[in-house]
Amino acid sequence: MVVLDVDGVLTDGGLYYDESGCTHKRFNVQDGLGIKLAATTGLEFAVITGLDSPSVRRRITELGIRHYYPGQHRKAPFLTTIADNTTIPLAQIAYVGDDWVDAAPMALVGLPIAVANARPEIKGLARWITTAQGGHGAVREVIDFLLHAQGKFEDLWQNWLQP
């Protein structure tokens, strides 16, 4: 299972306000396709985020992510809940984060990952740091790495080459 933060991981961390005061966020389509492709191989995803917004809810729904915990600044308890509900041990979970709110859950999992533009303290907790920045393909980089490690990448790729 891969657990993701939103702001700074699935997005570039920017908050965009329109004239009516609504907040908008920028998501990376390659990250999204990677999530959908990986899900077809049985890889599960969860999202725990400090903020809650309609645009994030929409994106999570579009991607088919079933485990979504918005408005959570203390993320570790929800990570434990996810592990309990899915019977996936914490040692078999990857967590991708970028800022201090991700520190506690990163300390609990088997594969803590920081995006390239994460805070230095978060990079210090990570076993792996992506080369891509959050919101710019970091999640896809993680997914491709995991699919290669599981021996699933090549079959998935070959399937997409078929007419």
Q: Is the pLDDT of residue 14 over 90?
A: no
Query: Which structural domains are found in the chain, ordered by start?
Result: 2-156 (3.40.50.1000)
- 21-64 pLDDT, tens digit per residue, is 888 889 999 999 999 999 999 999 999 998 888 889 999 999 99
64 class by beta-carbon count within 10 Å (0-12 exposed, 13-18 middle, 19+ buried): exposed
Q: Is the pLDDT of residue 11 over 90?
A: yes
- Residue range 87-91: mean pLDDT, rounded: 95
How far is Cα 68 from Cα 44, in angstroms, rounded to an integer?
Answer: 12
* Short-list 73, 23, 76, 74, CA closest to 50: 73
**According to the model, what pLDDT value does residue 22 have?**
84
CA distances (Å), origin 124, targets 67, 70, 117: 27, 26, 13
How far is Cα 114 from Cα 117, in angstroms, rounded to an integer?
Answer: 8
Note whether 91 and 127 are within 8 A (CB).
no
- Residue range 65-86: mean pLDDT, rounded: 91
- 95-151 pLDDT, tens digit per residue, is 999 999 999 999 999 999 999 999 999 999 999 999 999 999 999 999 999 999 999
How far is Cα 109 from Cα 104, in angstroms, rounded to an integer?
Answer: 9
